[in-house]
Amino acid sequence: MQTHHHPTSSDPDLPRRQLLMALAATGAGPALWPSTAAAQIAPIYGNFRGASLGNNANLNGAVAFPAGHAFNTDITQAAVDSTSASILSSIGLTANLRPDFGSGTWDGGPIGIPYTVVSGTQAKVAIRFTAYGSESDPGPYPVPRTAPVEGGSSSAGDRHVIVIDRDNQRLYELYRAFLQADGSWNADSGAIFALDSMTIRPGGQPGWTSADAAGLPILPGLVRYEEAILGAGGIRHALRFTVSRTRKAYVPPATHWASSSTSTSLPPMGARFRLKAGFVIPSTFSNEAKAILTALKTYGMIVADNGSNYYLSGVPDPRWNNSRLIAELKTVKGSHFDVLRMDGLVKG
């Protein structure tokens, strides 16, 4: 069993950890970072009590779920699926990887999927499900009025709302969420995840959706600046991405499909892609790109929704350098990936 590293007052590495986190918080450039910074900050699995409070707050090393969960598993040596080539061809071998997050705004709202961190005393409010209530975890949820909505309060898009209750180790996620005058929320669907458990959705069932089409939690797969600025090794979990066409099937830990096609050339929800070990990450790339591409080699990325091909999900942050990150990630094409063996595939 992995030993979790929790900093205490007697922790000899604490001053260094605090310095590195302070540098990250100020957006300090790579030149100020020790080359082994990422290696010096041990992930804290399944424990969010040290997370900061607020919208898109630092999680201070917290990683969703125990170290042994699929999201956190090193897949460097995992076998390639026999249908990998046909799946990659169906998506496009020359399609580029692209960040679906950044700084500034697009179409009137922040770019990416936001979240907020609350304490265990945050008041819970009623949630009215307007579309997929039979597959949703019933409320109330501790969603504050000030919780950020994906795309902004006037968005006509997915309108995800994500809340981390740091003290009770719970993750609350809503799809197409709308704040009501009394402080309650209406949403198409919602799910509650246990951040400290291998049974990540205690109230869920196979075949259920969540706030995401694949039935997965969204937060654990997001790219966050806090981790990415650490460079290679800074991101210790799988990432979330979208493709335009999927199959009527899913691979655990996904629990839901969102397609009517049974073509084996299309990826099922939950399919995991790995960046080939032979892809050379240029030394001139930003720390952010190095962190993302190293994570794609080590943990891979998981098909979680229908959307633009090879769009990686992440959290809005004013420190992202949009033009540089787009230019660096677009050097990665579909042909640079492998689709990993889809054990436990559930077909529709």
What does the pLDDT look like over 71-109, one tens digit per residue?
Answer: 999 999 999 999 999 999 999 999 999 999 999 999 999
Q: Are 91 and 120 contained in the same domain?
A: no
Domain range for residue 11?
1-42
Pull the structure tokens for residue 34.
């020790």
Tokens of 162: 């994500």
Same domain, 166 and 272: no
Each residue of 35-66: pLDDT tens digit? 444 445 789 999 999 999 999 999 999 999 99
**Are 119 and 103 found together in one domain?**
no
Answer yes or no: are the C-beta atoms of 198 and 189 closer than 8 Å.
no
Q: Looking at the structure, do residues 240 and 339 belong to the same domain, yes or no? A: yes
The verdict on residue 51 lying in a domain is no
In a domain, 244, yes or no: yes
Burial category of 232 from C-beta neighbours within 10 Å (exposed 0-12, middle 13-18, buried 19 and up)? buried
Specify whether the CB–CB gap between 276 and 340 falls below 8 A.
no
Q: Which of 4-18, 170-184, 200-214, 306-320 has the lowest mean pLDDT?
A: 4-18
In the numeric block, the tokens 């719970």 are attached to: 170
253 and 337 both lie in a single domain: yes
d(CA 44, CA 60): 8
Whether 232 and 341 map to the same domain: the answer is yes
What single-letter amino acid sits at 345? L
Mark whether 249 and 298 lie in a shared domain: yes
pLDDT at 22 over 50: no
Task: Give the predicted TM-score (pTM) of the model.
Answer: 0.89
Q: Residue 154: inside a domain, yes or no? A: yes
Q: What are phi and psi of 288, to 5 degrees?
A: -60, -45
